[in-house]
């Protein structure tokens, strides 16, 4: 069955024994500590960020679970980084069934790491643990906590093909390429299946580590049925500087 349905960054001082720390290493440490702060505090969006427009929102459910999708567009002329995304999955009578505000949540389940100017992304949280039958989802993008670096890394997602897994069912499979000089850790490939303007399936794939100039295979297992639909993909870089 399917139905249309901030974080504070802490900068930690890093001490090294015997040797200097490069700028890139310092940036990586700041990025990691910021993510830990985000996870530890949980997500709060008190005011919707005006530069990120929610074009639509969808919640999908089947025997594999529940997924929430927010179609988000950066309407500004600047890249936006670490955009918080709060969701409230609702059931009958608009009763709240699930929010992604728990401390310890993975950052990509509560934020978008990068939105380029004018870019639209099908952001997906496929780890929705609803306490009832989900009917809708409210999506609220929050204030961006920091400015984007001058030079931004590029990640290329190759087109997907549908494959049949004997255990988990239909999946979208393809390659993702790191065209930057930065190691990308916990790189998430978001995928939705769309028929016209209707989202009929959604899922995610996570690459634990993708070195500069290298490629990896992503495999997205869907909630919903992607057969006969157009597959939309995105993989925002996680390491930005």
Angle at 149 between CA 237 and CA 35, to 5 degrees: 55
Cross-strand partners of 218 = 174
Element (H, E) at 62: strand 52-62
146 SS3 class: coil
Among 3, 131, 145, CA closest to 69: 3
In this predicted structure, what is the pLDDT of residue 20?
Answer: 38
In angstroms, the CA 48 to CA 51 distance is 9
Q: pLDDT digit of tens for each residue in the chain (241 aa)?
A: 444 333 333 323 333 333 333 334 433 443 444 444 444 567 778 788 899 999 999 999 999 999 999 999 999 999 999 999 999 999 999 999 999 999 889 999 999 999 999 999 999 999 999 989 999 999 999 998 888 998 999 999 999 999 988 877 889 999 999 999 999 999 999 999 999 999 999 999 999 999 999 999 999 999 999 999 999 999 999 999 8
- Using CA atoms, how far residue 184 sits from 5, 31, 33, 87, 222, in Å, is 32, 12, 16, 26, 24
pLDDT tens, 57-94? 999 999 999 999 999 999 999 999 999 999 999 999 99
Query: Which of 2.60.40, 2.40.50, 1.10.760, 3.30.310 would CATH assign to domain 155-234?
Result: 2.60.40
In this predicted structure, what is the pLDDT of residue 209?
Answer: 98
In this predicted structure, what is the pLDDT of residue 36?
Answer: 47
In angstroms, the CA 133 to CA 102 distance is 20
In this predicted structure, what is the pLDDT of residue 68?
Answer: 98
In this predicted structure, what is the pLDDT of residue 13?
Answer: 32
Would you say 66 and 59 are in contact if contact means Cβ atoms under 8 Å apart? yes
In this predicted structure, what is the pLDDT of residue 41?
Answer: 62
- Expressed in percent and rounded to 5, the helix, strand and coil fractions of the chain are 10, 50, 40
In this predicted structure, what is the pLDDT of residue 146?
Answer: 80
32 SS3 class: helix
Instruction: Indicate the domain borders of the chain.
Output: 155-234
228 SS3 class: coil
Would you say 160 and 233 are in contact if contact means Cβ atoms under 8 Å apart? yes
């Amino acid at each position: 069955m399917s139905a249309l349905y901030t974080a504070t960054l802490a900068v930690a001082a890093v001490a090294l024994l015997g040797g200097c720390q490069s700028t890139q290493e310092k940036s990586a440490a700041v990025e990691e500590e910021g993510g830990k702060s985000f996870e530890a505090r949980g997500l709060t969006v008190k005011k919707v960020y005006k530069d990120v427009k929610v074009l639509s929102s969808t919640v999908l459910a089947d025997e594999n679970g529940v997924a929430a999708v927010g179609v988000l567009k950066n309407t500004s002329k600047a890249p936006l980084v670490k955009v918080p995304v709060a969701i409230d999955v609702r059931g009958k009578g608009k009763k709240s069934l699930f929010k992604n505000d728990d401390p310890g949540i993975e950052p990509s389940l509560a934020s978008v790491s990068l939105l380029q100017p004018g870019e639209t992304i099908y952001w997906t949280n496929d780890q929705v643990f609803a306490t009832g039958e989900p009917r809708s989802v409210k999506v609220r993008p929050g204030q961006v906590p920091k400015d984007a670096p001058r030079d931004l890394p590029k990640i290329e997602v190759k087109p997907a093909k549908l494959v049949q897994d004997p255990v988990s069912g239909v999946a979208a499979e393809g390659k993702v390429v790191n065209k930057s000089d930065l190691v990308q850790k916990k790189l998430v490939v978001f995928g939705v299946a769309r028929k016209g303007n209707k989202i009929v399936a959604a899922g995610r794939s996570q690459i634990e580590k993708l070195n500069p100039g290298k490629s990896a295979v992503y495999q997205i297992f869907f909630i919903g049925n992607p057969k006969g639909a157009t597959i939309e993909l995105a993989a925002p870089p996680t390491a930005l500087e």
